[in-house]
Amino acid sequence: MTAGLKAVLYPDTVVTPAIAVDLSLSRSRYWFNRVTASNGSGVNSNIDQRLDLMQYQVAVEASHVFTLQDADGKADDKAGLVALSAKASSSSLTAASSGGAYSQI
């Protein structure tokens, strides 16, 4: 599942750049029921695990459109700042144990 929202806080003018905020949320869930060795040894293990991934992203964007003298079109130059946070956790569905990891980028 992915959801997002973008809003222009201040429009682009001849003098000042446009300012926008972009928010997004992404969530994924995976279930695993078997692990197999990749070296061909024939080792198999039945498991009952779930992996949850959640990601938040916030971006503040500043952009301004410049008209080039040598070309017929316009070029869009942008600069901005992005903050990203991701969390991954795994859970055993048959036991009361659970593990997790948190990562901030």
CA 70 to chain centre: 38
Q: What is the pLDDT of residue 103?
A: 44
Question: How many domains does the chain fold into?
Answer: 1
Task: Tell whether pTM > 0.85.
Answer: no
56-83, pLDDT tens digit by residue?
A: 888 888 887 766 665 566 666 666 667 7
Considering the chain, what percentage of its residues have pLDDT values greater than 90? 7
| Structural domain of 45 | 2-104
Report which residue type is found at 95. A
Which two three-digit tokens encode residue 48?
């009952």
Averaged confidence pLDDT in the chain:
75
- Convert 79-92 to b/e letters by CB count within 10 Å (16 or more is b): eeeeeeeeeeeeee
28-43, pLDDT tens digit by residue?
A: 888 888 877 777 676 7
d(CA 42, CA 14): 68
